[in-house]
Amino acid sequence: MTSSIEFAPGLTVQGVQPPLNLRDFKLIAFDMDSTLINIECVDEIADAAGRKAEVAAITEAAMRGEITDYKESLRQRVALLKGVTEEHLAHVYRSRLRLNPGAAELVLACKAAGLKVLLVSGGFTYFAERLRDRLALDFARSNQLEIVNGQLTGRMLDQSWGDICDGAMKKETLLRTCSLIGCSPAQAIAMGDGANDLEMMGVAGLSVAYRAKPKVRAQAKVAIDMGGLDRLLELFHA
């Protein structure tokens, strides 16, 4: 493995030689929870059901790669959300969800350089679609919670592309988006923090770990451990 170099404090690079040219890339794909935004939405929703600690423990294990079946881990967590109201989802979005530092700046810089922007998440459409509209993202894919009479049922709905957006689906989504816009995966940047991001990061030309779990940080070409998402721009020509 190529040895890693601390390019600047809190910014580590391995396997690439900066400076790079942002315009050489055509797509940037972001994970949502704990990457583009500051929270794990499923954990905050669980707070309303008095089950945050229980759900967060499963989330942490899944993100560290200690649970190999991501789909089953997500079904378990969503089942614990049964009865939470849609109003609580709105509360999480309004009061707890924040963009991570540098998120808007990085998105704007990428769009200005001609890149398309994809949000691909093991989280939920309720949040991903609002972020897509808020940041004018080009594509978004995530999981859809079933809501009946204003309450979560503890289940998710199948969508046209499949049942759950897990690591394999994140990879497939990145590859299909590359095909759709006419670029190669080598022209894609993938940013994430958890084990379910590794497959899409593995096929992208530039993989970026943002304040990530150790397993993810070790495999990424770039690791941002301090500062905001826009620190990625330090690797590119001004």
The amino acid occupying position 72 is E
H-assigned helices in the chain: 41-48, 52-63, 70-79, 86-91, 103-112, 125-135, 167-181, 198-203, 214-219
Cα 209 to chain center, whole Å? 10
Q: Is 33 a catalytic residue?
A: yes
Q: Which of 33, 193, 197, 230 is catalytic?
A: 33
Helix (H, G, I), strand (E, B) or coil at 9: coil
End-to-end CA distance of the chain: 29
Q: Which of 31, 43, 166, 197 is catalytic?
A: 31
Determine the Cα–Cα distance for residues 114 and 96; give it in Å rounded to an integer.
31
Q: Is 31 a catalytic residue?
A: yes
Determine the Cα–Cα distance for residues 9 and 21; give it in Å rounded to an integer.
21
Residue 169's alpha-carbon distances to 16, 118, 195, in angstroms, are 26, 13, 13
Active site residues: 31, 33
